[in-house]
Amino acid sequence: MRNWLLFAILAVAVMQAANVSGYVADQESGETIIGVNVQVVGTGLGAATDRNGFFTITGIPFGGYQLRFSHIAYQNRQMDIEIAGDDIYLATIKMTLATVKGESVTVTGNRGKIIKRDMDIASFEVDPVVLREVPTLGRDVFRLVQFSPSTTISDPISPLYYVRGSDPGENLVQLDGMTIYNPQHMLSLQAIFNPYAIKNIEMLVGGYDAEFGGRNSSILYISSREGHQDQVKGEFKPSTSGFNGAVEFPAPIGGTAMLSGRILTSLLNRVLMNMPNYMGDFNGAWQNTIGNTKIRLSTFFARDYMDYDFHRFSIYFTQPYMKDYSFGFLSDATNLAAGIKTRTIITPSLVGESHVYFSRFSVENNNFFSFSAFDSIQNIDVVLKYNTKIINRISDFTAKANLTYLGFWNQTLKLGIENSNYNFYNDAGIFSDKSSITDVNSALLSIYFQDKLELGPVLIKLGLREARFHRDSKWRIEPRASMAIKLGNSKLKAAWGRYHQFITTMNTQDVEISQYLDYYFPLRNVQPLTSIHYILGLEGHLSPKLDYTITAYYKDLPVLYRFDYNSNASSIFSYGTALEQGSGQAHGAELMIRGDWNRFSGWTSYSWSRSTRSYPTVQNGREFLYDGDQTHNLKAVLLYKLTEDITASTTVKFSSGYPRTWEIGNYNHYTYDPLSNTVGVFPEPYTPVKNNYRYPARLEIDIGWKKKLRSGFGYYLAEYIGSDESYFTLSISNLLFLRRNPYMYIYIPEYGYYGYDIAYFPMVSAGYSIKF
């Protein structure tokens, strides 16, 4: 009886309440602002603006209130509202920048604090200002992502990263909601996103909502800038390897626009080695508001070309032993995407979104290694010809739409549908074998429903996603649930979810000389990759300016696939037989502290993790450590405000070594030439146990320095061309250069093993940038 009474009181209270929603934007540029806290003063009710700069506060009881808008980089703003009946849509609230001096450092440290965390229990959100303030990050998104407590790498010269023990191919990267495949430049191993064009970087590392699907491990959501409503603003950064620039401006046809581009080349390789190479990326966005609808058009293009033949070293270092020596790779990759997105406030309680985009990635990757040498013992020529060729292409035409309803009982309901039409093309070959061509069309249809319910200190999210890869295949259900409970200044969070992935990637790192890329394949007529996440977290404040997050997770990986490229080249002729199903698990705990402390700001994290795999044909199904398993990871990104104009920074990474397969013996592999009835030999390592050794721990420390110019040539040059500000940056990477971080061991007869490192000396780089 008492329960029913409580229910009735709640119902009456909710019926006499309404919702408030709206956008928050920068007064000067018109760009929407992410992470603005909007509070209904005196009620404890509030919300933060999302990645669209949009907020909704549900269940405000009838009456007069003051709304307070606050953001660390902006002046606070208040406004009065009267809740009397209908829901209120406030259109766009403008905020004015608070200060310029020292702004960026403060924002860097407080980013975790300024955003009112919602249910994304496992998110890593960073203001892209970090990329500009910390020179040692090389203005690279992926290098920044590596400082998340949830990521590990197993190859320092590859941009691919592991999130909580899952495969790199299970990470989704989206630019303004468009999926970007292989979003890395092969030449520089960095992300193909121009840092100036980035407005926000958000990484969901597990337990994410039903809204997100298609990948099982992480979602890296990158929002690009929207443009400037009144002036032409931008940045130009010339360097010896190319140029990097971006410009924001009011679009001639109305609305705002942004264009950015980079073209880079390695002059050293091009001039000294005659090895042609270049990389470029271009990003464009136009945005306008018509009535209650925001329209956004996004385009993206990137190209990488590398023709590296290390034989050309012999110009400088001749060797008499090998004839017809050839070693290198030729890679040509193109990435393009274009899409149009709308967001309409249909009523103050109903928001509709639609998005149509096309994304395509294609690559031709040739690796080769060949030589002939005279074998004085056998008195014959030993000939080796090793080459791999992979042409891989994925085309993705996606249409998606969703409706968000600010419903009764403090609920936010979201219903969405997505359809992706894919084309997968693969042409893979080893040696001179006839290559296998796979050309497959597939369609992934998904629907999802998400309900967010706020009941005082308790916030609950329940979601359901269903997906079908082909018309004739069955629907797969992915339930998701999460909750958060406020406990004083702390918040306890928990999440559980089932995730399916219908695209797998091929691991070729044991075959190709270099693997910089994921090669994509559809999972037709087999179970999808499956991952079940269990997450528990606690977050709170150590001091007013210092936050902490503790997270523990367990991932059950009951369906995994190994592309059995390694065992038998003939199996790649028939793609379906090359897949082997296995299973795995990953678990770990993470601690992160971020914020400000005196003149320091930034974050530091420690994580402990373990991840294993098992496949029937690998060591008879015996469990082995996963390639990305690193037990301990200690990371830090710290900034120190030396003066008004100078910021010093450092990045520190200490991690356990990754597991690798150590050869315990060798035997000769023979190649038979039937025409001459002769046989060639090449020594092969004997590796009966996968990942039987662990590499030594890695320690990397880089330092940086950024100075705003007040005088000198750089300042006057900037002043001459009418720019607002100019900066000088200096970074020294590999500071502990005498400490070796081997990533490969080469056996040298009569010497022994030699640990091969990629950086023997500290690398000093200086930069100059102009903002206008």
Partner 1 sequence: MKKIFVLIFIALISCDLPQDPGPMPTEIIQSEYIPGLNIFGVLRNDGIPGTSFFRVERSWETEEATMEFVVTVENATITIASDSSAWDFTFTIDSLHGEIYANPDFSPDKQVQYQLIANAPGLPELTGEVTVPAIPMVDTSSILIENNVFQVSIAGQAEIEMYDIVVISDYNSITQRYLSNGDTLIAEVNLSNLIGEPVGLAIYAYETNLTQYQTSTMTIKPQTYHEAVNTVMGGYGCFGAVSVFTLPIN
Considering only residues 102 to 161 of the shown chain, the ones binding partner 1 according to CB under 8 A are none
User: Contact at 8 Å (CB) between 304 and 333?
Assistant: yes
Q: How far is the CB of 626 from partner 1 (least distance, A)?
A: 12
Among 82, 230, 324, 684, binds partner 1 (CB under 8 A): 684
Is 536 or 681 the residue whose CB approaches partner 1 more closely? 681
Residues 689-728 that bind partner 1 (CB under 8 A): 689-696
Q: Does 378 bind partner 1 (CB under 8 A)?
A: yes
Is 196 or 658 the residue whose CB approaches partner 1 more closely? 658
Region near partner 1 per CB under 8 A, out of 19-27, 161-169, 188-196, 506-514: 506-514
Q: Does 321 bind partner 1 (CB under 8 A)?
A: no
Q: Which residues contact 636 (CB under 8 A, 6 or more apart)?
A: 147, 602, 603, 604, 605, 650, 651, 652
Q: Does 753 bind partner 1 (CB under 8 A)?
A: yes
Q: Does 754 bind partner 1 (CB under 8 A)?
A: yes
Q: Does 674 bind partner 1 (CB under 8 A)?
A: yes
* Dist CA 180 CA 171 (whole Å): 11
Q: How far is the CB of 309 from partner 1 (least distance, A)?
A: 16
- In one-letter notation, the amino acid at residue 291 is G
Q: Does 319 bind partner 1 (CB under 8 A)?
A: no
Region near partner 1 per CB under 8 A, out of 181-189, 479-487, 503-511, 589-597: 503-511
Q: How far is the CB of 738 from partner 1 (least distance, A)?
A: 4
Among 3, 240, 319, 432, binds partner 1 (CB under 8 A): 432
How many separate helices (H) and strands (E) can be counted in the chain? 6, 45
Is 321 or 720 the residue whose CB approaches partner 1 more closely? 321
Which contiguous run of DSSP H or E holds residue 714? helix 712-720
Strands 88-95 and 17-26: parallel
DSSP state of 189: -
Q: How far is the CB of 678 from partner 1 (least distance, A)?
A: 6
Is 375 or 719 the residue whose CB approaches partner 1 more closely? 375
* Dist CA 432 CA 671 (whole Å): 12
Residue with tokens 């443009």: 227
Region near partner 1 per CB under 8 A, out of 16-24, 276-284, 527-535, 666-674: 666-674
Among 239, 568, 577, 643, binds partner 1 (CB under 8 A): 568
Residues 625-654 that bind partner 1 (CB under 8 A): 625
Q: Does 667 bind partner 1 (CB under 8 A)?
A: yes
DSSP for 303-368 reads: EEEEEEEGGGGGGTS--SSEEEEEEEEEEEEEEEEEEEEEEEEEETTEEEEEEEEEEEEEEEEEEE
User: Contact at 8 Å (CB) between 19 and 56?
Assistant: yes
Closest by CA position to 561, among listed 205, 172, 218, 169: 169
Q: How far is the CB of 434 from partner 1 (least distance, A)?
A: 6
Is 8 or 437 the residue whose CB approaches partner 1 more closely? 437
Residues 352-371 that bind partner 1 (CB under 8 A): 369
Is 66 or 617 the residue whose CB approaches partner 1 more closely? 617
How many residues bind partner 1 (CB under 8 A)? The answer is 79
Among 1, 5, 253, 675, binds partner 1 (CB under 8 A): 675
Instruction: Give the number of other CB atoms < 10 A from CB of residue 684.
Output: 13
Q: How far is the CB of 618 from partner 1 (least distance, A)?
A: 8
* Dist CA 479 CA 474 (whole Å): 16
Q: Does 324 bind partner 1 (CB under 8 A)?
A: no
Among 677, 711, 720, 722, binds partner 1 (CB under 8 A): 677
Is 432 or 598 the residue whose CB approaches partner 1 more closely? 432
Residues 569-598 that bind partner 1 (CB under 8 A): 569-570, 573
Q: Does 428 bind partner 1 (CB under 8 A)?
A: no
Is 240 or 676 the residue whose CB approaches partner 1 more closely? 676
Largest CA distance in the chain: 99
Is 425 or 662 the residue whose CB approaches partner 1 more closely? 662
Among 118, 364, 663, 725, binds partner 1 (CB under 8 A): 663
User: Contact at 8 Å (CB) between 501 and 543?
Assistant: no
Is 239 or 666 the residue whose CB approaches partner 1 more closely? 666
How is the beta sheet containing 54-61 ordered, strand by strand?
54-61, 17-26, 88-95
Residues 3-32 that bind partner 1 (CB under 8 A): none
Q: Which residues contact 320 (CB under 8 A, 6 or more apart)?
A: none
Closest by CA position to 551, among listed 243, 89, 163: 163
Q: Does 606 bind partner 1 (CB under 8 A)?
A: no
Q: Does 476 bind partner 1 (CB under 8 A)?
A: no
- Per the structure block, which two tokens stand in for 59? 């269940």
Angle at 448 between CA 442 and CA 454, to 5 degrees: 160
* Dist CA 405 CA 416 (whole Å): 11
Q: How many CA atoms lie within 13 A of 258 on its CB side?
A: 29
* Dist CA 446 CA 420 (whole Å): 9
Q: Does 374 bind partner 1 (CB under 8 A)?
A: no
Torsion of CA 51, 55, 58, 64, to 10 degrees: 170
Closest by CA position to 193, among listed 147, 137, 261, 290: 261
Closest by CA position to 150, among listed 165, 169, 167, 139: 165
DSSP state of 272: I
Q: Does 430 bind partner 1 (CB under 8 A)?
A: yes
Is 299 or 687 the residue whose CB approaches partner 1 more closely? 687
Residues 526-565 that bind partner 1 (CB under 8 A): 565
Region near partner 1 per CB under 8 A, out of 25-33, 159-167, 306-314, 508-516: 508-516
Region near partner 1 per CB under 8 A, out of 466-474, 507-515, 531-539, 583-591: 507-515
User: Contact at 8 Å (CB) between 689 and 661?
Assistant: yes
Q: Does 475 bind partner 1 (CB under 8 A)?
A: no
Is 604 or 661 the residue whose CB approaches partner 1 more closely? 661
